[in-house]
Homo-oligomer: A and B are copies of this chain.
Amino acid sequence: MGAAEAAALIPAGATVGMSGFTGSGHPKAVPQALAARIEAEHAAGRPFKVNVWTGASTSPELDGALAKVGGIAQRLPFQSDPLCRQRINAGEIDYVDIHLSHVAQQAWFGFLGPLDVAVVEVLGILPDGRLIPSASVGNNKTWLDIAQHVILEVNTLPPRELEGMHDIYYGTAIPPRRKPIHLEHATERIGEPYLRVDPAKVIAVVPTHHADRHTAFAKPDADSRAIAGHIIDFLAHEVQKGRLPKNMLPLQSGVGNVANAVLAGLLDGPFEELLGFSEVLQDGMLELIRTGKMRAASATAISLSPEAMREFTERIDFYRERIVLRSQQISNHPELVRRLGVIAMNAMIEADIYGNVNSTHLMGSAMMNGIGGSGDFARNGYLSFFVTPSTAKGGSISCIVPMVSHVDHTEHDTQIIVTEQGLADLRGLSPRQRAQVVIDRCAHPDWRPLLQDYFDRARRSGGAQHTPHLLGEALTWHQRWLDTGSMRP
């Protein structure tokens, strides 16, 4: 069936569960055809929007196309498309920002309402009807299970040799019938290589031949290399103190350039036989596997630059033995992240002196991307790092502030904060102790005196001294940036 015909089967107001995670495995044709249809309906004066659920971020062909025509009413759980972000921040899309490990279960519980249509990319359909998953698994199992109707896109471009790399777990259930998940090693297989679907629900099969979004990574800059250096020194120190095994524990690394650079840093680090237990496998982790530094990795998506994709495709038999792709409720499962003792490394927008972390909002109101899986890993991991350059926007913003303008990870969930300036180990510290360490180690020298001044005055203010604050002043840095383009007084 053609994409336009398939898109015609999606009614206005429908909730659509699409495949796609971090630019890979999203449907490439139906969303664009749906966007064209929406545009035509709008031109004819007829309202037409859909709710779009995915695994995580997608690409211009999905979020971009649908946002462009004003076709999205509700969006969840993670996005990073510039047009989609713009619509969210204009108040035109209701964006619901859910921990990635919570999405599938909330859909199953019925908390998010019914799912009308699933649009899922696969690489092929076996004679018995089972599906070969694509380069990401995301929430596909759940969408296929709970959607009333299913549209499949069969993409013949990605390497068919991905077959066998997936591990789809069919043991989940709704309480009170849940069982332990018997996964004890990061790259153990506990499921099946194929997705199942009830053939009676399949209303369209659309052939495509189209590449994933292969975004190039920025070459690690000096700041990223400094951040990576601090983390590696710290990990080596923890091994030496006996608080970490010699080959460490499974690594999770978040999205973005800095996170990727930290993995690049491990290439020259002293650690061998590493394991990955992450959401997304980016260039940095592939390189660790290629060089033998990392034994194997588990993720829910592979998202590579064009170059890395070439390497991956050429030696796919090598990689298939070293990479396991799972559903995102398994890759991010609190039970597993805690059991395995994952070392979590995630980028952030800002942290405050007390260790509260903002991963999602610019200046308190504007959505950047969403929380993604950062909370799943930060809360449940063995160690948790949050990293950022100490300043942003040409130095007009300090990424260490008196009080963050939005909290995604509370002081109870953050352990180690790292900027190019240094590393603040907050484990076992009270808020006052944390503040001094964060100011001394992480703040940029241009901003350090201002932060110290805030903290000192809050301590002398006569107010309560557990978490000394000057509430009248705590958010003025952000307000000043909005007013003048600089946080500087």
Contact = CB atoms under 8 A, between A and B. Distances in A.
A141 interface: no
A429 B96 contact: yes
Given A94-B433, A175-B382, A179-B184, 20 more contacts: A89-B466, A91-B459, A91-B465, A95-B430, A97-B411, A109-B382, A111-B427, A178-B341, A334-B334, A334-B335, A334-B338, A334-B380, A364-B471, A408-B412, A471-B475, A471-B476, A471-B479, A471-B482, A472-B476, A474-B475
B243 A341 contact: no
Given A410-B410, A471-B405, A176 B245 contact: yes
Most buried by B among A102, A339, A361, A375: A339
Contacts of A474: 364, 475
Interface of A is mostly: loop
Given A412-B99, A430-B96, A465 B178 contact: no
Contacts of A338: 178, 334-335
Interface string A97-108: 111001000100
A428 interface: yes
Contacts of A472: 475-476, 479
Interface stretch (A21-29, A203-211, A365-373): A365-373
7 contacts: A175-B249, A175-B341, A176-B341, A361-B467, A363-B463, A365-B464, A472-B475
Contacts of A249: 175-176
Contacts of A409: 410
A113 B428 CA distance: 8
A340 B175 contact: yes
A371 B431 CA distance: 14
A406 interface: yes
A242 interface: yes
A341 B479 CA distance: 41
B98 A412 contact: yes
Nearest to A74: B430
A356 interface: yes
A433 B96 CA distance: 10
Interface in A435-489: 458-459, 463-469, 471-472, 474-476, 478-479, 482
A463 B371 CA distance: 21
Interface of A: 74, 76, 88-91, 94-99, 102, 106, 109-113, 174-176, 178-182, 184-185, 241-243, 245, 249, 334-335, 338-341, 356, 361-367, 371, 375, 379-380, 382, 405-413, 415, 427-430, 432-433, 458-459, 463-469, 471-472, 474-476, 478-479, 482
Nearest to A175: B341
A243 B407 contact: no
Contacts of A465: 88-91, 365
Contact of A341 (B174, B341, B430, B469): B174
A196 to B, nearest CB: 23
A380 to B, nearest CB: 6
A141 to B, nearest CB: 18
A14 to B, nearest CB: 16
A90 B111 CA distance: 44
A21 to B, nearest CB: 19
Contact of A363 (B102, B375, B429, B471): B471
Contacts of A94: 429-430, 432-433
Given A113-B428, A432-B91, A375 B182 contact: no
A375 B74 CA distance: 27
A382 B99 CA distance: 14
Nearest to A379: B379
B112 A428 contact: yes
A110 B464 CA distance: 31
A243 B472 CA distance: 44
Contacts of A106: 427-428
A314 to B, nearest CB: 32
